[in-house]
Structure formats: C-alpha cells, structure tokens
Chain A
Amino acid sequence: MANIDRRDFLKLIGAGGVGAGAGFLLADSIKHPVEHLIPYPVPPEEYSPGIVTWYNSVCGMCSAGCGISVRIREGRAKKIEGNPLHPVSQGALCALGQAGLQVLYNPDRITGPLQVSGERGAGTFAELTWDDALRSAAGRLAPLVESGRGDRVWMLSSGGGGHLGRLQREFMDALGSQNLVRYDFAHPQTLYAANRRFFGEDALPYYDLKNCDYLLSFGADYLGTWISPVLHSLGFGHSRQGTEGSRGRFVQIEPRLSLTGASADEWIPARPGTEGLLALGLAHQLVAGGAYEGPDADAWNATLASYGSARVAAETGVPEDTVKRLADAFAHHHSALAIGGGAAASHRNGVDTLVAVNALNYLAGNIGKPGGLVFNPAPAAGGSPGQEGYRGALALIEAAGRSEVEVLILSDANPLYSLPAAAGFEAALQQIPLVLSLSSFMDETTARADLILPSHTYLESWGDDFPEPGVGFPVGAVSQPVVAPLYNTRASGDTLLALAQQSGALLPWASMEERVKDGWRAIHARGSWEDEPELQDFDGFWTALLESGVWGETAHREHTGFSPAPEVIDGIGMPSAEFSGAAQSYPFVLHPYLSQTFNDGRGANLPWMQELADPMTAVVYGCWVEVNPKTAARLGLSEGDVVEVASPHGQIRAPVFVYPAIMPDVVAMPIGQGHTEYGRYAKGRGANPIQILTPEMEPESGALAWAGTRVQLTKTGERAKLVHTGGESRQLGRNIIQTEGAGDVTHAGGPAIPIKVVPS
C-alpha cells in the first residue's frame, strides 16, 4: 500500500464521507423517537392525566337497561363495567355490553350529515352542514305541518326506553301525526299480550329467579338473549349455589338446545309450536291430580279436561312419564316458576302459549310470591313504552303503498334487515319521497335514505331508562355523555327537537338534556325528601342521581289474591301452530334464534363480537345452519357443506354445522349475520334468516310469528370453511369438567384414550 495516488485518495475520502454520513443517520434512526408533552390550553374539570374517572350511565346495547360505569382516562372511554348500585346489572355485564366501546370507537361510524347524491340507494352521499341538513329536512316537514297533513310523516323506531321514547311521541304529536311505529325484532310483544289477557296487566312481571328452586322455561333463552339476561344470570347463579343446602333446578323445553338449555339440569325437546300444549298438559296434571285447591278448581278442570297426558305426549313428542314427572315436580317444589319466550312465543299461537304458561304459574300459586313472578308498581316515567310491532310496520308498508307516506324518519331502526323480505318493505321504501335516517351507522336501510342526520352513540348522549321488568320496585337510571362527541353528530333527541323547532311544531325544550331533566323533575316531585335534606332541592337530587347513575323507589306492590276472570279461564286453549310451507316439500321447521354475540344483528359491526366464539358452536366470523347428526347423515351432509335453505318466501345459503342437540326435523340458524351494509366487519358475511321468514303475524299481539316457517335444504356441492376456536369438542376421558351429585357420573366424556403398548 505504499503508493496511493491522488485518484485513490479521493475515492477513499469520498467513501469515508459517505460512510460517515450513513453511520450518523443510522445512529439517528435507531434513536428513541421524539415524543411530545401536549398540555391542555385550559384543563377540563376533573381532569388528571393518569388518573381514572368513572361515569355512571345506562347500557344501550339491548333493551334490558343495565346500569353501567364507564372508566375514562385522558378523556377517552377505556372500559365498561356494570354499575354495582344498579339493581338490574348489580356490577355485572354481558359480552355485548362490554363491547359497547366498539360502538363508540367504531371505524365505520357516520361522521357528519349526509345527503344522497345521485340515485337513492346507489350508496353515494355528499357531506353537508347540520344547518343545511336540518333546513333541508324541515323544508319538507314544515309545509305538511302548516297544511295539517302532518300525519303523512311516519317514524319507525326500535322503541327507545325512557324519555327518548316519550320525546319521539311528543315530536310526532307536535307534527300532528299518530304514525309512530316502534318495531324491535326481539321485543317480547306476545308476552305483553298474554299478560294483558291473563293478568289484565300491560307489563312484564319480575321473574324472581334468585329465590325460585324450580324453573320451567318454555323456549325462553333467559341466560342468553331473553329480556334481561344479566339480571336472570345473577338470579340463576344465586339459585344454583347462592344458598347453603339448596340448589335450584332448571328445566328447559325447546327444540334446539340453547345456551340456557346447556346450563339447565334437563333439556326436553318438544315439537316446535307445541310448548303451550305441554304447559296445558302440566296444568291438567296439576289440577286433575288435586295439587291445585283454589275455589275455581272446577272451572280449571273443565277447561283443561282435554289436555290429558296421553294426548299431550303424542302431540309434543315428550314421553308421557316425563309430562307426569314435570307436573309432579312443578307442584311439589316450594317455589316453582314457569316462563315462556323465544321461538315458543313466536308462533302463530304465541300468546296462547304464554297464557298457558301464566296459567301454570297461577295454579302453582306463585304470583306475587318470592321465587315467583311479581308485578311492579308503575314505572316512574309512566307505563310501558309498548310497541306497535310488526302490525305497525305492516301499516307503514300499506300506507306507503297507497302513497300516503311523505316522510319516513328512521330512528335506530333497520327494517330492511329486521323485517322478512316478504313483508314488502323494500318496495314500500320506493314509494316514500323522503327517507330520513338518524342512525349512527350505515346500515341497510340508512344506505337507502335521502338524508342522514347521524346520531351520537349512547355513550355520548343524554337519556334515561326505566328498565322493565325491573326488580320488584320502580327503577330509573340516567344516561349521561361519558366522553365528548367524537364526530359531527347529534343526539337523536336533539335532532328531533331542532327539526320540530324549524318545522313550526313547537316543543318546550331546547335540548335532550333539558327534556330528560324535565322528566326527572316530575319524578323528584313524587318523592318525599324529609330524611335527606340535600336531595330536597332538584339540583341536589340531580347531582346525586348522576353520581350514582340510578334511582329507585322502595315501593312494592301488594299482590292480594289475584284470580283470573271465569271467561279468561274458559278461553284458555291451544290452537295448533301453523307453519308456512307444506311439510312434504318443506320438511324442516326453521328455528331462527337471536345470536348471543350479535343479538338481532346490531352487534355484527363490532370486531370483538365477530371474534367472540359462538358459545355453542365455537364458530367465529360465521353463519351456519344447524342440523341434527342423524338428519345430516341421511342427507349426506357434513360440516362445511353449503346448503340452500329455501322457504316459500325465499332462499339463502349457509354452511352446515352438525349440531348434536337439535330435533331431527328442525334446523336452526343464528340471526345476526348476512348484512349487505353496516360497516367493514359486518358487510357481506353469512346470511340473514329473517329474510326468508313467513310474513305472518300472531293475531292477538300483532307480533311477527318468526318461528312459523318451514324450509327445505338442498346441497349445493360447494364447501365453506367454518372457523372454530378452541380445541376438541369431547373430553376424551381427560375429565376436565368434573361433576358430582345425585345422578352419579356414569359417562364423563367418551372412552379413555387407549394407550398402545409397543412390544419390545
């Protein structure tokens, strides 16, 4: 290396320079990135970085109305827990309630008002300001109000509880319209009707699961999706193991084993639509066997005479000795309770079924008793909000067909998804000149709207709820905004008030907050506050209410000797359930059920819910048709075979899941998937069984008879992979779940894994 010439020297220097630069940059690039400390210009009240604040509110994920506490840090909602003070949730919460955070922070929320651009339904929207949006909507409403044709405005709502529901009514009244339709697929409308007929009460009773020691459930998935699952679960847990020396026994009667059925001590499959017949069969045994000794025993004997166990056994498919055994157990347990709901209550004889269940409770003498069913004093904010239900939705469809609907306002309702296609809503929508949606999400119906006035999520808005059935005394809870609104949205109550004001239909409140407060002033005035001077003043009461999140009156209602009128007893009977589709060509009864994860489909846009394994099948992100193993073998179907499920009203496709606990002539499908809109997590996934349901209704209540459809299955030859989580579906002798008790473990799991001894 003696002689480096000038050329080489320059090369060396050049390379060294480039290298040094690269080295410098390299060192820089692996340094800790610059982080900033961003202070607030003015810190909000109660704000401390790193310190948690809790706000109490009301869960908006279903109509149960559980109280929640939301954990807030740095202005963001981090976690939802049950409000321990709230007597419905008592600090607990279900999976869907936990996932409420993903409603708030959902990436597919509508971020501001939208107006359709181009053809309606094409899915193209243009943003506009709230002023323009409200002016545009009010411009259509005002002429109708002025000319006294306000009844050409219709509103379809899922039936918000509390003062939002009242405000909807007040808004429509101010417009001069009676056409508020509340339709919620999961609403127990037939139960209201049955209670009206049997008890003369337009309300749901509180079912005291906590203190009951024998529960017969006719189709009600009370631990999963029925009315108030968290409250029922708390009661179930307590009845099971909450008191020393006693353990409640739970019996579930349904054609397909549900989550509740799996937790029950006994599952009894009965033919779909015959649950009420079974209830009357049990009632017959009770009365005929002399277990019932009331003064009206003769009337009962007469009306139940034709429901002998032989007939009941033959028609329901439940063995005769089981019928007798159930009746015996029901009569001899201290606090026996019967409940009915779900598919059993959604046949065309749904109300009769539930009246039969009510009769069973009456005959067991548990009305108003601990461990029985208890009617509450009237809720503080008036009676039950009620539902026009499916009958109301049909009225809307008819009116639209007659071109009598000028404006349709959708509030938290998605009828294109939750009404059977055969009901004809899609065609009716074409006839409506202006469709306004107040939805937070681009669901199927909102995508067909002309104008979208997006609402806050429940975690951003004021509201309240008076949970029905409550817990034996009136309960109310206030829902307050726990975080600042994320987007340019407005609470639907505020939107309605603004619309009313601009349309010349005056309402006395400036905001939803005022409306809620106004309602609570009346409730405050009901109470006497002598012992609590700090609550005497409304402001003090309001502050205390927001802190605790819940209010309750310690008023119980005395149940004194209820007995049904003779004509009610006389009128008890059981018409057989009718099905749409002939048994020859449609051999299976379709059993749609509310999904544990998606409820009626509203949870499908939440990634946590999509990833949550279905409790029974462990399937994630999926949709399937449940078929009995024997039936599957007969049809040559195995898991993953895509079948066409056809009813007289349409067909859908889904892969088969061979389900060990379903009657051979029933197929079941979860409701919840099959969205054609509704955001990236829901769209284009699976099928929606509601689409192919019969558009018939239960005549007495006007509810959709969603369990009354027959279907046929056709193998398409295609295959689809159902994604499961978890492991082996049988214990294989590992004894992971251990049992003990009266009926000793005879077959815990299958045979042990044989260990092969290899001869040396």
Chain B
Amino acid sequence: MNFLDRFRDGWRTYRKPGYYDGYDYHWAMTIDLDRCTGCEACVTACQAENNLPIVGERELARGREIRWIRIERYWEGEYPNVKLGFIPLLCQHCDQAPCETVCPVAATYHNPDGLNAQVYNRCIGTRSCAVYCPYEVRYFNYYDHRWDPPLEQQLNPDVSVRGKGVMEKCTFCIQRIRQAKDTAKDEGERRVRDGEVQPACVQTCPTRALTFGDSNDPDSAVSRKMADPRGYKVLEELNAHPSVVYLKKVKAGDAG
C-alpha cells in the first residue's frame, strides 16, 4: 500500500460516523429550545470560565467578537403576530468536521473523546477553519487582548490566554473534563460518572435547557435526551455529524 492509499484508507475509517463509539467517552450536548429563554447566562459563564477577552466596542463593530457560545435570534412575522426565537450556538464538535480537514498545520483535530480540539500554540492563523465552519463558531484573535488590572486576577489558570493571530473556539470546557477524569483516575480508575462534569454554560443555565454528558453511555442523561423525538441537528444536511443535538421548540396551538 503506498502512502496515498494508506492516507485515504485511514481517512475513510476515521470519517465514518460512529468511529468514536468504541472509545471511552463521546462528549455530547443537547439544547432544549423549548426551555431556552435567551437570557445569555451561558454566554457570560463561558466568558468567565474560558478567559475570553474583552474585545471592545470598536472591534465588535468590525465583527470581531469572540464568544464561544452565543445566542442567535430570529424574528418571524410582523406586528402584532411577531415571534422571536433564540438558539444558543457553540462549536458543534462535529464528527466529520470541515474545519479539521482544512487546517494546514493540523492545529485542529479530532480527539479520542470525540471532541473537536484546537491547539493554540500550533495555530498559525490562516483562518481557513473559520471559513469552512458552517456554524460560524470559530473566532480569531486579531489583537493581543488586555485586561485592565486587576481584572486579570480573575483569569482561569487552567485555560491558556490566547495571543494575537490564534483561532479559538468552544472546547466543551476541556479543563473540566480533564479534572473530572483526573478525579475518576484517583478513585480507582473508574469512569467519569454521568453529571460529574458540566461545561460552564450547562452548569449555569437557569432553565436547565442544556444537558451535557457521554453519548457512548446509553443511560446518560444526554443520551436519553438525544433520543427525544424532538431532537434535530442544525444544518444536518451538510453531513458534518455534530455532537450537539437541539430539541425542537414546541409551538403551542392557538387554542388554550
């Protein structure tokens, strides 16, 4: 087998849906749109947990926001029959992630837990991944951001502070997953229990719209929710196989 064949072969196996099922964990999330109220507690929780920079009004005006989880809002209809829908969007940790295939330096890759990983010190800032991402959840550091002292004292030491020229995105709070695995290992090489690890957004959500867990474990809360008939994946037709499953908003009838 020559190099090219080997490459193609490996690629196909790796890109097959369910490839990660054999691994210990496959982290996944469900977001219940019928519960979500768009209150944005998750957004601030993420900003606090993951050292997201304060970008400033001028940069935001140029579309340079950095927000690993954000709320998109879509209006529907005209006054007085007008509705507003909210949807939290974060990295979908696709099993067939378009961003991974494009990175020229393999700074983004899929890890054995089914996570779409970004290695900051390897990233050279071509921004190709952001272009390839259909969910627009990758954010680029146009500047070295600064925190007015003493705001920097809040920075989480378990998360890198990203510098200029680096792409960043949601990690499903890898530092928390790592910590949970560490504890599990201490306690006799057991598995991480369901609910033991929660990303910042899930932990803070006031309506409990977000559920996180291991989809390889059929009894986990997230697996059960993923099986909900309301479940769908955003832009599923693109075949990226996201690990985030949304539960449809229920539209109540006019009666009642």
* Chain A residues engaging chain B, CB cutoff 8 angstroms: 50, 73-74, 76-82, 91-99, 101-102, 104-107, 214, 223-224, 229-230, 233-234, 236-238, 240-241, 247, 249, 257, 259-260, 262-263, 265-267, 269, 325, 329, 333, 486, 596-597, 607-613, 615-616, 618, 620-621, 628-630, 660-662, 664, 680, 721, 723, 725-731, 734, 736-745, 747-749
Within the complex, the shortest CB–CB distance from A220 to chain B, in Å, comes to 14
Flag if A737 contacts B37 (CB, 8 Å): no
Flag if B76 contacts A747 (CB, 8 Å): yes
Closest A-chain residue to B47, C-beta based?
A608
Indicate if B7 sits at the interface (CB-CB under 8 A): no
- Knowing A101-B48, A107-B149, the reply to whether A79 touches B34 (Cβ < 8 A) is no
- Knowing A236-B207, A737-B87, the reply to whether A94 touches B39 (Cβ < 8 A) is yes
Flag if A739 contacts B249 (CB, 8 Å): yes
Flag if B54 contacts A608 (CB, 8 Å): yes
Q: How far is the CA of A615 from the CA of B41 in the complex (A)?
A: 10
Beyond A236-B35, A680-B148, 8 extra complex contacts between A and B, CB < 8 Å = A224-B39, A237-B35, A325-B255, A608-B54, A726-B73, A736-B74, A738-B33, A740-B251
Flag if A742 contacts B154 (CB, 8 Å): no
B-side contacts of A729, CB under 8 Å: 73-75
Flag if B204 contacts A263 (CB, 8 Å): no
Q: Which of A234, A613, A741 contacts B251 (CB 8 A)?
A: A741
Flag if B151 contacts A107 (CB, 8 Å): yes
A-side contacts of B40, CB under 8 Å: 95, 596-597, 612-613, 615
Interface residues on B, range: 35 or more
Flag if A262 contacts B83 (CB, 8 Å): yes
The 5 closest A-B pairs by CB, nearest first: A742-B253, A237-B207, A233-B206, A107-B148, A262-B84
Q: How far is the CA of A81 from the CA of B202 in the complex (A)?
A: 11
Flag if B79 contacts A259 (CB, 8 Å): no
B residues 205-231 in Cβ contact with A at 8 Å = 205-209, 230
- Knowing A739-B251, A741-B253, the reply to whether A98 touches B83 (Cβ < 8 A) is no
The stretch that binds A, out of B59-67, B92-100, B113-121, B124-132, is: B59-67
Q: How far is the CA of A629 from the CA of B208 in the complex (A)?
A: 34
Q: How far is the CA of A82 from the CA of B49 in the complex (A)?
A: 14
- Knowing A257-B82, A726-B71, the reply to whether A611 touches B54 (Cβ < 8 A) is yes
A-side contacts of B79, CB under 8 Å: 628-630, 660-662, 664
A-side contacts of B154, CB under 8 Å: 76-78, 101-102, 104-105
Closest B-chain residue to A734, C-beta based?
B235
Within the complex, the shortest CB–CB distance from B255 to chain A, in Å, comes to 8
Within the complex, the shortest CB–CB distance from A107 to chain B, in Å, comes to 4
Q: Which of B65, B208, B234, B253 contacts A237 (CB 8 A)?
A: B208
* Chain B residues engaging chain A, CB cutoff 8 angstroms: 32-41, 43-45, 47-49, 54-55, 57, 60-61, 65, 67, 70-80, 82-87, 136, 148-151, 153-157, 200, 203-209, 230, 232, 234-235, 246-256
Q: How far is the CA of A96 from the CA of B67 in the complex (A)?
A: 17
Q: Which of B57, B87, B155, B246 contacts A723 (CB 8 A)?
A: B57
Flag if B84 contacts A616 (CB, 8 Å): yes
- Knowing A106-B151, A259-B38, the reply to whether A95 touches B43 (Cβ < 8 A) is yes
- Counting chain A CB atoms within 10 Å of each CB, which of B38, B41, B60, B205 scores highest? B41
Flag if A727 contacts B72 (CB, 8 Å): yes
A-side contacts of B60, CB under 8 Å: 611, 620-621, 723, 725
Within the complex, the shortest CB–CB distance from A320 to chain B, in Å, comes to 15
Flag if A613 contacts B151 (CB, 8 Å): no
- Knowing A99-B44, A608-B44, the reply to whether A616 touches B73 (Cβ < 8 A) is yes
Closest A-chain residue to B74, C-beta based?
A731
Q: Which of B34, B82, B136, B200 contacts A241 (CB 8 A)?
A: B34
Closest A-chain residue to B33, C-beta based?
A737
Q: How far is the CA of A726 from the CA of B38 in the complex (A)?
A: 13
Q: How far is the CA of A737 from the CA of B83 in the complex (A)?
A: 12
- Counting chain A CB atoms within 10 Å of each CB, which of B34, B71, B151, B252 scores highest? B252
A-side contacts of B54, CB under 8 Å: 607-608, 611
Flag if A95 contacts B41 (CB, 8 Å): yes
Q: List 5 A-B contacts (CB under 8 A).
A: A73-B157, A78-B154, A612-B44, A661-B82, A745-B251
Flag if A613 contacts B70 (CB, 8 Å): yes
Flag if A98 contacts B209 (CB, 8 Å): no
A-side contacts of B48, CB under 8 Å: 79-80, 98-99, 101, 608
Q: Which of B57, B73, B230, B247 contacts A615 (CB 8 A)?
A: B73
Within the complex, the shortest CB–CB distance from B36 to chain A, in Å, comes to 8
A-side contacts of B253, CB under 8 Å: 741-743
- Counting chain A CB atoms within 10 Å of each CB, which of B40, B65, B155 scores highest? B40
Q: How far is the CA of A82 from the CA of B73 in the complex (A)?
A: 26
Within the complex, the shortest CB–CB distance from B213 to chain A, in Å, comes to 16
Flag if A233 contacts B43 (CB, 8 Å): no
Q: How far is the CA of A305 from the CA of B44 in the complex (A)?
A: 50
Closest A-chain residue to B67, C-beta based?
A725
Within the complex, the shortest CB–CB distance from B135 to chain A, in Å, comes to 9
- Counting chain A CB atoms within 10 Å of each CB, which of B71, B73, B76, B203 scores highest? B73
A-side contacts of B75, CB under 8 Å: 660-661, 729-730
Flag if A98 contacts B71 (CB, 8 Å): no
Flag if B256 contacts A249 (CB, 8 Å): yes
Flag if B57 contacts A98 (CB, 8 Å): no
- Counting chain B CB atoms within 10 Å of each CB, which of A98, A104, A333 scores highest? A98
Closest B-chain residue to A610, C-beta based?
B57
Flag if A92 contacts B208 (CB, 8 Å): yes
Closest A-chain residue to B205, C-beta based?
A92
Flag if B37 contacts A260 (CB, 8 Å): yes
Flag if A730 contacts B74 (CB, 8 Å): yes
Flag if B37 contacts A223 (CB, 8 Å): yes
Q: How far is the CA of A420 from the CA of B163 in the complex (A)?
A: 45
Flag if B150 contacts A737 (CB, 8 Å): no
Closest A-chain residue to B150, C-beta based?
A105
Closest A-chain residue to B42, C-beta based?
A95
B-side contacts of A104, CB under 8 Å: 154
Q: Which of A79, A105, A680 contacts B200 (CB 8 A)?
A: A79
- Knowing A613-B40, A615-B86, A723-B57, the reply to whether A741 touches B151 (Cβ < 8 A) is no
Q: How far is the CA of A224 from the CA of B153 in the complex (A)?
A: 29
